[in-house]
Amino acid sequence: MSDIALEGSSGRRQVRISDLSLGGCFVDSISAFSEGEDVKLILTDSAGRETEFAGKVAWLAGGVGFGVKFVELDEPHKDFLNSIIEN
């Protein structure tokens, strides 16, 4: 996975993520987000395919990042995530 963009109420920015799963991920960010805030993550795989994921900020980690829970995952989204996780 090469590029990850995050869209929230404060705009769009490039971010790093970790702990990616079908349930969500951790976003490394010092930017201020609120628990329950709607966000979009745009993931790009190694083949250059870009897919957008809707999520909610599930929890905050004091100035180092936050957890995002994916919402409304359909089969194509799950397949895309599985292909990234397996690599």
Tell me the per-residue pLDDT of 56-65, one tens digit each, with 9 for 90 and over. 999 999 889 9
- Measure the CA–CA gap between 19 and 67, rounded to whole angstroms: 9
- With 0-12 / 13-18 / 19 or more C-beta atoms within 10 angstroms meaning exposed / middle / buried, residue 5 is middle
Mean pLDDT of 65-77: 95
Chain segment 14-50, per-residue pLDDT in tens: 999 999 999 999 999 887 789 999 999 999 888 889 9
What is the pLDDT, as a whole number, of residue 47? Answer: 87
Could you give the angle at the alpha carbon of 75 between the alpha carbons of 80 and 83, nearest 5°?
A: 20
Dump the DSSP string for 7-28.
EETTEEEE-EEES--SSEEEEE
Mean pLDDT of 5-10: 86
Q: What is the DSSP letter of 31?
A: S
Higher pLDDT, 45 or 74: 74
The model's pTM is 0.89
